[in-house]
Structure 1
């Protein structure tokens, strides 16, 4: 097979599914790992895909672009793990918490095995499946119901009504983007409404967003930056962005990626809470 034919096949798969992984392409096309990586380099240089850790995704350049769950799962996996481990440290036994749909919150759900007696409300079938498959008898999982989006979130009036009468200790919110102007955003209008309803159920709101979300803007704002009690991000976030966010969020928690690599429990850099009289 000629290189151009191979690249066209890769591009077709990216357009069809939103993402490809190098390991899958090696098996499917019967070529070496390096050959696939060169093909991805060529496609990325032409602006037809975006290279990510272990593969490539479709190029997103509009505020309404919404990748599927599988496509998003290959973005910044090490950063998401670091963030999830840091967030898990905030959860105590007996907590009633909310988890919005998303790959970072899904990663958090996979690191809750050491926390007993949890009640978890989520609008994500994938998160509910993870929590149920753990086989814990001291865990209650409440799934909102609703219409399923490309990113596997359950949204719409059914989901919103299910959330309106709930009161949770803390809500962990995954987002598509964050910026000073737009706040925390999503490319899906229905998901934005549902996530706002979920955020209102929590006594405390913790936003989970890796550094690549900075300056990314979806079409709809979920909450403003100043509405987050805590923002958990990774140490890839530039210093100027940290300074800006510290002016808006009550507390900025920076999770070191290297410390989380291969770890089962997390640690983090010291957080940067504002003074009490500034909250």
Structure 2
């Protein structure tokens, strides 16, 4: 889409800021349609406004500064972001899973993508606090017409709890269920990840539930697309040294790869033309 030359950059950014404040947040895709400019132009404008401190970028859009760390997009909104990256990450993450093991999947759209890659691995026991992840395995277990359920289908345990905007169950009920179990590998998504804050989320209850997951897991794998690096949510739930493996996509800048590789025992860059794994 060609950029609209009728608006000067300053006028365009003023309109963006007005919409963010009026609506409490807006997505990049909405701004491209509203302003009739390219995705790249909108992202440049958001970068400028973020540097000025007038708004804060979140995944796929922007929110007012005072809402950024507590803003939690819904599952549907997040599921449309970084689709290729999530698919690449999911395939690389699934390759870490051995048949017959106990796997935990926390909530999020990236772990949802991982679940879709795990359905063909036989004899898994899957524990999740994600309604969407449980649905993936439930759909895979449905008997084909004229046949019974296939052997080797995963046994799925869905924790109880209070549902968040991201379709995740959190709170004391979820925490108690998770604390009584033990997992060979845990896959965790994250709202943001940084050297200073570690892994973080806007939801306080979700942060606590994630801590219980981590304590119950023998191996912790964080799955996060490249846009999560450098982002910080309200509550940290894991320091970087609590993460055994980080799986990110090839969109990660070379300089960031070097910085991240220094922080983790294992960094897996998923996708084409990555030059392999680091860490």
Q: What is the TM-score when the length of structure 1 is the normalising length?
A: 0.76
Matching residue within 36, 39, 62 for 1:38:
36
| Distance in 2 between residues matched to 1:155 and 1:18, nearest whole Å | 26
| Distance in 1 between residues matched to 2:218 and 2:234, nearest whole Å | 26
Counterpart position of 2:93: 87
Q: 2:120 matched to 1:114?
A: yes
Question: RMSD of the alignment, in Å?
Answer: 3.2
Q: Which runs of 5+ in 1 are unaligned?
A: 1-6, 23-33, 260-267, 274-279
Q: Cα deviation per residue 1:45-76 (whole Å; 9 max; x = unaligned)?
A: 58799898xxx655475111111111111221
For residues 70 and 218 of structure 2, what CA distance do their matches in structure 1 show? 30
The structure-2 alpha-carbon separation of the partners of 1:66 and 1:167, relative to structure 1 and needing over 3 Å to count, comes to: same
Give, in whole Å, the separation in 1 of the partners of 2:128 and 2:258.
Answer: 32
Question: C-alpha distance in 2, partners of 1:245/1:113?
Answer: 30
Tell me whether 1:131 sits opposite 2:131 in the alignment.
no
- Quick one: distance in 2 between partners of 1:40 and 1:59? 20
Task: Note if 1:147 corresponds to 2:162.
Answer: yes
Contact kept? 2:56, 2:64, Cα under 8 Å: no
Q: 1:99 to 1:219 in 2, by over 3 A?
A: same
CA contact (8 A) 1:253 1:269 kept: no
Distance (Å, rounded) in 2 between the aligned partners of 1:120 and 1:129: 12
Q: CA deviation at 1:194?
A: 0.2
CA contact (8 A) 1:43 1:49 kept: no
CA distance, structure 2, for counterparts of residue 146 and residue 18 of structure 1: 29
Identify if the C-alpha distance between structure 1 residues 103 and 18 changes in structure 2 by more than 3 Å, giving closer, same or farther.
Answer: farther
Report what 2:108 is aligned to.
102
Shift of 1:270: 2.6
User: Residue 177 of structure 2 corresponds to which residue in structure 1?
Assistant: 162
Contact residue 184 and residue 221 of structure 1 kept, 8 A: yes
What's the counterpart of residue 270 of structure 1? 276
Aligned to 1:189: 204
What number of residue pairs does the alignment pair up?
244
CA contact (8 A) 2:134 2:158 kept: yes
Instruction: Give the aligned partner of residue 9 of structure 2.
Output: none
The answer to whether residue 253 in structure 2 is matched with residue 238 in structure 1 is: yes
**Do the aligned partners of residues 211 and 43 (structure 1) sit closer, same or farther apart at CA in structure 2, a change above 3 Å counting?**
closer
Q: What's 1:29 paired with?
A: none
Structure 1 residue 113: Cα displacement: 3.0
Distance 1:269 1:141, change over 3 A: farther
Shift of 1:92: 1.2
Decide whether aligned partners of structure 1 residues 194 and 232 sit closer, same or farther in structure 2, where only a CA change above 3 A counts: same
| Offset at residue 112 of structure 1 (A) | 1.5
| Distance in 1 between residues matched to 2:101 and 2:198, nearest whole Å | 27
Partner residue in 2 for 1:70:
76
